[in-house]
């Protein structure tokens, strides 16, 4: 059964020769200006995927996601998900790491896999003429990864080197501290890349077990965009993902209650600027108030050069080069997180400005003019983020992960329009009235550690 809905694409106007078209398209996978249909397709083997056919250039992009991610790491082996996913393409089946990468490079096949907090995601991009080999290499990486000792040790060394750099990076230190303070004794609070101690404990058998538990068809989401028909795509999907286990073996994750609001953590580090991360309660993606919260966040700090925080912190007082906020939704929690960096002697003033703007927005909400401008921007900018096949494939997967429905593109503008000033005021108070957990890394003047509620 196929369900079809239309989306619009940005014009592809570059004038390129045939070779340049292919080279540029391989990098950007640009798509034409025309209405294109999203199809919900079920493969012969029963695997559902969302599909957009686009024959403008002879390219295919596929995005896929498994539920899992770093929250499925054992408590004493944080970093397992990232190490496992990083090693999937380091040899598979009867092909070692060198030969595997040589085959990818020879046919200009791009394969990327990554682990987040709650998902393992991958992207495959290939010329149409190389589709069979591209999907075959992906099949092997997912179903028969080798986890050779030499490859595992190479990935471990890279991970440890990265962790060493992060240990002196103020942004990394601030992020890790904020998450561990916001979600203590919870999988969300663990560092996704692990620690030197936890990474040292990870074995090839741990990685095989993680892949077996997480890489399954049960929660698999797939988006396919490109020069291929639905029947052929379904056959490739079956060959690639069909051999995976039907059911995942995921451990349940408890609800994550964001703690520490009102508290400040100051971490001493001899750096020129103080890095500040701040955050509070968020809102679930399936909450009826989400779109109102999305607009409120855009006006407060998510709108880059147009936001209240940017205007107060950067334009009026010149305290920082930038400041931003964003909504983050997880399966078992949600947060609104922001960040900035400023001079040591301006840190206290910057934090006070941020907290003042949070309180002002919570008390009064946005103005009617701010809300109208935010609606116009968010409606117009959305299409600009769908200007390549890869971005569209990624969005198709995200829509499935978030359970938004295949007609979300059609409904999104109306959902934004439906938010009233009264809705925005009510949701601003709900979202921003609970206080902030603040982490500062550097040597800020006038800022000290204090407990939550202080």
Question: Looking at 210, 241, 272, which one is the last position of a domain?
Answer: 241
Is residue 270 domain-shared with residue 236, that is, in the same domain?
no
List beta partners, residue 50.
40, 223
pLDDT of 106 reads: 97
Domain assignment of residue 167, yes or no:
yes
Domain assignment of residue 246, yes or no:
no
Bigger pLDDT: 91 vs 16: 91
pLDDT of 305 reads: 87
Domain assignment of residue 452, yes or no:
no
Which of 73, 200, 66 has its CA nearest to residue 143?
A: 66
Contacts 24+ apart (CB under 8 A), 360-365: 361/296, 361/299, 361/300, 361/308, 361/428, 361/432, 362/428, 362/429, 362/431, 362/432, 362/433, 363/429, 364/425, 364/428, 365/296, 365/421, 365/424, 365/425, 365/426, 365/428, 365/429
Question: Looking at 184, 210, 241, which one is the last position of a domain?
Answer: 241
The pTM assigned to this predicted structure is 0.90
- Tell me the Ramachandran region of residue 435: left when phi exceeds 0, alpha when psi lies from -120 to 50, beta otherwise: left
pLDDT in tens, 289-317: 999 999 999 999 997 788 999 999 999 99
Is residue 222 domain-shared with residue 306, that is, in the same domain?
no
On the question of pLDDT at 5 being above 50, the answer is no
Is residue 220 domain-shared with residue 297, that is, in the same domain?
no
Q: What are phi and psi of 266, to 5 degrees?
A: -110, 125
Bigger pLDDT: 369 vs 2: 369
pLDDT of 385 reads: 83
Domain assignment of residue 248, yes or no:
no
| The two three-digit tokens of residue 375, written as one number | 């609606």
pLDDT in tens, 79-132: 999 999 999 999 999 999 999 999 999 999 999 999 999 999 999 999 999 999
Neighbours of 448 (CB within 10 A): 10
pLDDT of 329 reads: 97
Is residue 395 domain-shared with residue 302, that is, in the same domain?
yes
Q: What is the DSSP letter of 260?
A: -
pLDDT in tens, 373-412: 999 999 999 888 888 999 999 999 999 999 999 999 999 9
pLDDT of 304 reads: 75
Domain assignment of residue 451, yes or no:
no
Domain assignment of residue 211, yes or no:
yes
pLDDT of 453 reads: 79
pLDDT of 2 reads: 38
Is residue 192 domain-shared with residue 341, that is, in the same domain?
no
pLDDT in tens, 279-289: 999 999 999 99
Q: What span, in angstroms and rounded, lies between the C-alpha atoms of 386 and 372?
A: 23
pLDDT of 454 reads: 67
pLDDT of 77 reads: 98
Q: What is the CATH number of the domain that holds 41?
A: 3.30.830.10
- What value does the mean pLDDT of the chain take? 92
pLDDT of 386 reads: 87
Q: What span, in angstroms and rounded, lies between the C-alpha atoms of 302 and 307?
A: 7
Average pLDDT in the 145-168 region? 98
Q: What span, in angstroms and rounded, lies between the C-alpha atoms of 115 and 138?
A: 16
Task: Spell out the residues 6+ positions from residue 428 whose beta carbon is closer than 8 angstroms to its own.
Answer: 296, 361, 362, 364, 365, 366
Which of 3, 1, 5 has its CA nearest to residue 36?
A: 5
pLDDT more than 90, % of the chain: 89
Bigger pLDDT: 30 vs 145: 145
pLDDT of 8 reads: 29
Is residue 14 domain-shared with residue 125, that is, in the same domain?
yes
Per the structure, the complete domain to which residue 342 belongs is given by: 264-442
Domain assignment of residue 256, yes or no:
no
pLDDT in tens, 36-82: 689 999 999 999 999 999 999 999 999 999 999 999 999 999 999 99
Is residue 128 domain-shared with residue 168, that is, in the same domain?
yes
Average pLDDT in the 201-205 region? 98
Is residue 331 domain-shared with residue 373, that is, in the same domain?
yes
Identify the three-state secondary structure at position 370: helix
Q: What span, in angstroms and rounded, lies between the C-alpha atoms of 344 and 341?
A: 9
Q: Are 240 and 138 in contact (CB under 8 A)?
A: yes
DSSP 387-437: -BHHHHHHHHHHHHHTT--TTHHHHHHHHHHT--HHHHHHHHHHHHTT--E
Q: Are 278 and 339 in contact (CB under 8 A)?
A: yes
Is residue 25 domain-shared with residue 167, that is, in the same domain?
yes
Is residue 176 domain-shared with residue 34, that is, in the same domain?
yes
Domain assignment of residue 249, yes or no:
no
Total domains in the chain come to 2
Is residue 39 domain-shared with residue 96, that is, in the same domain?
yes
On the question of pLDDT at 10 being above 70, the answer is no
pLDDT of 35 reads: 47
pLDDT of 26 reads: 38
Is residue 176 domain-shared with residue 90, that is, in the same domain?
yes
On the question of pLDDT at 259 being above 50, the answer is yes
């Amino acid at each position: 059964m196929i369900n079809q809905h239309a989306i619009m694409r940005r014009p592809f106007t570059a004038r390129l020769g045939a070779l340049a078209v292919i080279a540029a398209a391989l990098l950007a996978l640009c798509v034409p200006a025309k209405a294109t249909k999203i199809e919900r397709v079920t493969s012969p083997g029963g695997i559902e995927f969302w599909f957009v056919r686009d024959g403008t250039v002879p390219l295919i992009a596929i995005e896929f996601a498994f539920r899992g991610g770093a929250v499925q790491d054992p408590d004493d082996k944080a970093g397992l998900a990232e190490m496992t996913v990083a090693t999937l393409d380091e040899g598979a089946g009867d092909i070692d790491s060198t030969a595997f990468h040589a085959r990818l490079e020879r046919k200009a096949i791009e394969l990327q896999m990554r682990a987040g907090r709650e998902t393992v995601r991958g992207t495959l991009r290939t010329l149409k003429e190389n589709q069979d080999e591209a999907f075959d290499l992906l099949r092997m990486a997912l179903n028969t990864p080798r986890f050779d000792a030499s490859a595992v040790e190479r990935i471990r060394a890279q991970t440890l080197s990265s962790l060493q750099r992060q240990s002196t990076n103020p942004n990394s230190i601030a992020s890790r501290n904020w998450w561990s303070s916001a979600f203590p004794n919870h999988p969300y609070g663990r560092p996704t890349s692990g620690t030197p101690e936890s990474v040292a404990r990870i074995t090839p058998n741990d990685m095989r077990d993680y892949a077996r538990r997480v890489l399954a068809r049960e929660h698999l989401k797939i988006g396919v965009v490109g020069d291929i028909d639905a029947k052929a795509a379904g056959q490739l999907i079956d060959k690639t993902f069909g051999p995976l286990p039907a059911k995942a073996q995921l451990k349940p994750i408890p609800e994550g209650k964001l703690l520490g609001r009102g508290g400040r953590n100051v971490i001493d580090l001899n750096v020129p600027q103080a890095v500040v991360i701040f955050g509070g309660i968020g809102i679930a993606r399936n909450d009826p108030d989400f779109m109102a919260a999305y607009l409120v966040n855009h006006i407060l700090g998510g709108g880059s050069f147009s936001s209240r925080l940017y205007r107060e912190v950067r334009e009026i007082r010149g305290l920082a080069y930038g400041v931003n906020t964003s909504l983050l939704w997880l399966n078992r929690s949600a947060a609104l997180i922001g960040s900035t960096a400023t001079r040591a002697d301006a840190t206290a003033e910057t934090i006070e400005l941020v907290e003042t703007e949070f309180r002002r927005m919570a008390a009064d909400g946005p103005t009617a003019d701010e809300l109208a401008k935010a609606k116009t921007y968010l409606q117009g900018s959305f299409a600009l983020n769908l200007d390549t096949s890869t971005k569209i494939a990624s969005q198709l997967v995200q829509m499935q992960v978030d359970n938004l429905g295949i007609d979300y593109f059609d409904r999104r503008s109306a959902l934004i329009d439906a938010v009233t000033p009264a809705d925005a005021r009510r949701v601003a108070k709900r979202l921003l009235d609970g206080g902030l957990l603040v982490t500062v890394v550097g040597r800020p003047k006038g800022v000290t550690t204090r407990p939550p509620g202080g």
